[in-house]
Chain A
């Protein structure tokens, strides 16, 4: 098999660097999109009048993933992330994240009973 000349190797290197450059641009563009979405979501949350009551108007303002969690908790009154995950068919870790987000937004109360963490609408 013929060995590549230095010139050919250099051209190959340029091609690969160009290819990597294009991929990097795509990653940066993707990050910009994610950043835009996160900023929009944060501004929605900031503008939302949180008074601590998870009423139907609050539910309408929530993003879909949190609304699903919130609707189950409204029915249960208080529950663990595991209880909610059984109804939503999402993982316990995902529900735990959503429930904590709702706590941060001021809609839920979090408390411990023995060593179990509960979330409550009251």
Chain B
């Protein structure tokens, strides 16, 4: 049975999408079959990150009930030579479609939730998918709460900003624990001197501080790497630069999710 993980954040700009894509890539490189879905319908990114601009069907169409999930998945296994099967579903970047999704009614949202839930017993099961990674829209949005409700666990990416930490903590108690899901927290873009941050005593101190302010433990604290930003969202580091320190920092997170 596939493990479905939603990657979410309270605020935008935490690096959530890069984390989702690279985690999916780490899993696929290790030989797991992975399906990465872009549920950030308000600001779609995966189509450009994976170069899927020519897609004719998007995840929006599957949730609309106008096509099968097989019609929208792009197989990038060969492109990136991953050991496991790597499938990606992009959200439609067309501005008219982005506008439309904000106006969907409650019945549509209920059916969208149903189609997400059905992936586990349907496609994921039939195609031996090991990991379903749902990249969500930040904050409290229908599509994000649908993702949280239909996944097994949530990886919440947070910055060190006070308002982000407070929002993360509130969101976990209000939207994740209610559905009896486990939340794992990842601090990303941690500013400061990277070598000292990677020293265990400095890192432990930071993790302890964060755990106190969030009221739950932190899985990992990843430093802010400027060269990630310099790539302007065009590179999957785990596949193209697997020795990059960002990938090395993310690998224990993937291992923790595997063990969970």
Question: Shortest beta-carbon distance, A70 to chain B, in Å?
Answer: 10
Q: Is B152's beta carbon under 8 Å from chain A?
A: no
Question: Shortest beta-carbon distance, B238 to chain A, in Å?
Answer: 31
> CA separation between A75 and B178, bound complex, in Å?
18
Binds B, one of A14-22, A53-61, A90-98: A53-61
| CB contact under 8 A between A56 and B142, given known A51-B106, A74-B114 | yes
Do B178 and A55 touch across chains, with their CB atoms under 8 A apart? Answer: no
- Count the B residues whose beta carbon is within 8 Å of the partner chain — how many? 18
> CA separation between A65 and B211, bound complex, in Å?
31
The 0/1 profile, CB within 8 Å of A marked 1, for residues 112-145 of chain B is 0110011001000000000000000000001001
Q: Is B149's beta carbon under 8 Å from chain A?
A: yes
> CA separation between A74 and B149, bound complex, in Å?
11
- Out of B110, B145, B178, B179, name the residue touching A53 (CB < 8 Å): B110
Q: Which of B94-115 contact A (CB under 8 A)?
A: 105-107, 109-110, 113-114
Q: Is B175's beta carbon under 8 Å from chain A?
A: yes
B-to-A contact residues, CB < 8 Å: 105-107, 109-110, 113-114, 117-118, 121, 142, 145-146, 149, 174-175, 178-179
Given A55-B107, A121-B110, 16 new contacts (CB under 8 A):
A52-B107, A53-B107, A53-B110, A54-B110, A55-B109, A56-B142, A56-B145, A56-B146, A57-B109, A57-B142, A58-B106, A60-B145, A60-B178, A71-B179, A74-B110, A121-B114
14 inter-chain pairs at a CB distance below 8 angstroms, sorted by A residue, are: A53-B106, A53-B107, A53-B109, A56-B113, A56-B145, A56-B149, A57-B106, A67-B178, A71-B179, A74-B117, A75-B117, A75-B118, A77-B114, A121-B110
